Amino acid sequence: MFERRLERGQFHMQPYLGCREFPAIVEPYTGTPPPLAGETRPLGFMLHDIRFAPGRNEAVFFDARLRNGAVDVPEWRPA
């Protein structure tokens, strides 16, 4: 069912990258991805989460870095 819906571009909800303002394009991948092992580079600030509070919301970011092909996301600590 997943593969059929993926090929047709059918979603229950539009996929997005962290916020609905950043929609994701999802399509079948047919190639071979290049290896990321050993690659390390800064990715900049990424949205970690949004703290919702009465009267004001606060975006929480973290300094993302790619280390050996993986992004370490810090543990979320709600305030």
pLDDT digit string, tens, across residues 35-78: 777 888 899 999 998 888 899 999 999 999 988 888 888 888 77
CA-CA-CA-CA torsion sign (68, 70, 71, 75)? negative
Residue 37 confidence (pLDDT): 77
Distance CA 20, CA 15 (A): 8
* Domain boundaries, given as residue ranges, for the chain: 2-71
Q: Give pTM, 2 decimals.
A: 0.53
Distance CA 57, CA 71 (A): 26
One-letter amino acid for residue 78 of the chain: P
**Phi, psi angle pair for 42, to nearest 5°:** -75, 140
Write the CB contacts of 66 (distance below 8 Å, at least 6 apart in sequence): 36, 39, 40, 41, 42, 43
pLDDT digit string, tens, across residues 16-37: 887 888 888 888 888 887 777 7
